Structure 1
Amino acid sequence: MLYPPDGDISRRNIATVKGTGGRISIGDIKNLIEKEFGSGIRDAVPLSGGCLADLQLVRLESGVSVVLKQGDNLLCEAGMLKYLRDHTALPLPKVHYSGEDCIVMEYLPGKAGTPAGQAQDHLAKLVAGLHSISQDHFGFEHDTVIGPLGQPNMDSDDWCVFFRDRRLVHMADLARRNGHLPEDVYRRIMTLADRLERYLGHRPPVSLLHGDLWGGNILSEKGRVTGVIDPAIYFGDAEVELAFMTLFGTAGQRFFEIYGEYRPIDPGFFATRKDIYLLYPLLVHVRLFGGGYVGQVDEILKKYL
């Protein structure tokens, strides 16, 4: 999320921020920003929304502002941003510099959160356009990440196999090994995985997905979506994205009405597949945060087992 937090904020010079072991030094970051833009750094403002990474709005003496993000797997994130900029109509920040633990990117206007009114309509049009981009198989040209977690993307012509092995089972395994997924819940997920073809027997078209499309990763203002960030891209069933967008209330009834004008939604999505597809983002949250997300996984499993 690329916006300053509400209320008073303390300003600090980027040169005073301490680096952590293994990361590019703050001095090197300062130098590369000044060299790239031909301007000195005035100050840096902490940005809210960086629960899995450190975010700062870096303001230059020239009046230009850029976003500095520090964390893990950021070279992959930068590549995903570039791919989406090159292939879609989504508003995405330009990446000025990228490394494994650092991205310097364009600052985009707008506030993160669930878009409302005309911005919800605009979001529906953008997402429908994204999902209309296709290729011959599910997966991607290389593995990607969702947050700090790896997403295997080995090609497959069988969507059920891809979702079962590279999404559902993969993330359940990670959450189990991390100690956040109880053994009994894990076993029930494996049972559902064995029966998955009963519920995912449809043949969805191959669609490009943002992969992590919730309000926190969407910027909007004045009835328009002004930015989309933090992608987790691959080619899959568009319904996975639509399901995720219901998890935190990002997509409401109006969104689905407008989206459906561009890409009709199969009734089987709401009746059967939405909850199954919700298991993947929920397991991501179980792996990262544990807690109440396990209960949400359990409630979905009760519907099918």
Structure 2
Amino acid sequence: MSKAVEQALGCRATSLQPLSRSWGLKVMRAGLDDGRTVLVKQGPGDLPGHAGLEGWMLDELARETALPVPDVLHASPDLLVTDWIDNEGGPSSPAHERHAAELLAALHTMRQPSFGYSRDTAIGGLAQPNPETTSWVAFFRDHRLVHMADIAHGRGRLPGPVRTRIDRLADRLADYIDEPAHPSLLHGDLWGGNVLVRGERIAAVIDPAISCGHPEIELAFTTLFATFGRPFFDAYGALAPLDKEFFTLRLHIYNLYPLLVHVALFGGSYVPPVEATLERAGC
């Protein structure tokens, strides 16, 4: 890895500290001989080209939004180098949640031309298709719900009867979710580990899975692993009012997508929550 960093940046790595692996990528904190500290991810990883794709997504967020993201110093299919973000872990205070609400409300109110994106992306080391589409219901049905159910079932981690029930929900999806006022750019993977704080502010959001969609799918995801709670939703709702019906069934419908991602990756304990949501929907 030292040689790869030197070839990419023209600086020698004087220290390398291993961090946890990320979807097959080796992850290191590296000190450079010019005094900088950087984060390095080296592949090929579970999804070919994932390192370069992650760099491209970070650049998209930096170019198109005001979200704080690490600067990309180098991105190629098997190597990503970004600024190191000094941080104190994930969000843990109402102030963190209120700042996150400001950032996400601003992101979501930016009008985008269509659902999907200009290229396919990835979530958790899995392919995430983004064909540009005019209907949110059709996009979520075909390229999120059914797509990830197919992957999970194909890996032997989603039982056949549950897969059939997802098809029943897909056939009736327009009864459960609505078209938004406009497509919004989404970070796409806002669990707590991807939100870094420093002091009382959000220092950076990392590891995106970008696409354009309904803001509600992003907001729902923040509840799945308790990334944010009441202070976030109160602050967000004051800036971008939310339909109260979101908090009943729709939230759970949208969380089928990240749940199916986890079923595809890990199986086991993530299947019962999928079944519980299908039961709620009468499917």
TM-score (norm 2): 0.93
Q: Which residue of 2 aligns with 1:190?
A: 167
Report SS of the residue matched to 1:292. Answer: helix
Q: Contact 2:135 / 2:179 at 8 angstroms: preserved in 1?
A: no
Q: Distance in 2 between matches of 1:84 and 1:115?
A: 24
User: Which residue among 253, 257, 260 is the counterpart of 1:280?
Assistant: 257
* Matched residues, number: 277
Letter in 2 for 1:231: P
Q: Distance in 1 between matches of 2:276 and 2:146?
A: 18
User: Which residue among 82, 85, 90 is the counterpart of 2:59?
Assistant: 82
1:109-167 C-alpha deviation (Å, 9 max, x unpaired): 11332342311111111111111122222111111111211111111111111100010
Q: Contact 1:97 / 1:103 at 8 angstroms: preserved in 2?
A: yes
Deviates further, 181-190 or 59-68: 59-68
Give yes or no for the alignment of 1:139 onto 2:116.
yes
1:238-257 C-alpha deviation (Å, 9 max, x unpaired): 00000000001001000000
Alignment RMSD: 1.5
Q: CA deviation at 1:221?
A: 1.5
Q: Which residue of 1 aligns with 2:199?
A: 222
Q: Distance in 2 between matches of 1:232 and 1:54?
A: 19
Q: Distance in 2 between matches of 1:297 and 1:194?
A: 17
Task: Map 1:250-265 to 2 at 5 A.
Answer: 250-265=227-242
User: Which residue among 264, 268, 274 is the counterpart of 1:291?
Assistant: 268
| Structure 1: unaligned runs, 5 residues or longer | 1-13, 16-26
| Structure 2: unaligned runs, 5 residues or longer | none
Deviates further, 66-75 or 205-214: 66-75
Give yes or no for the alignment of 1:30 onto 2:2.
no
Task: Map 1:1-305 to 2 at 5 A.
Answer: 15=2, 27-33=3-9, 35=10, 39-48=11-20, 50=22, 52-71=24-43, 72=45, 73-305=50-282
1:257-278 C-alpha deviation (Å, 9 max, x unpaired): 0011110011121122100000
Q: Distance in 2 between matches of 1:182 and 1:278?
A: 18
Report SS of the residue matched to 1:111. Answer: coil
Q: Contact 2:18 / 2:29 at 8 angstroms: preserved in 1?
A: yes
Q: Contact 2:5 / 2:12 at 8 angstroms: preserved in 1?
A: no
TM-score (norm 1): 0.87
Q: CA deviation at 1:40?
A: 2.8
Report SS of the residue matched to 1:66. Answer: strand
Letter in 2 for 1:225: I
Q: Which has the larger radius of gyration?
A: 1
Report sequence identity in percent.
44
Q: CA deviation at 1:52?
A: 4.7
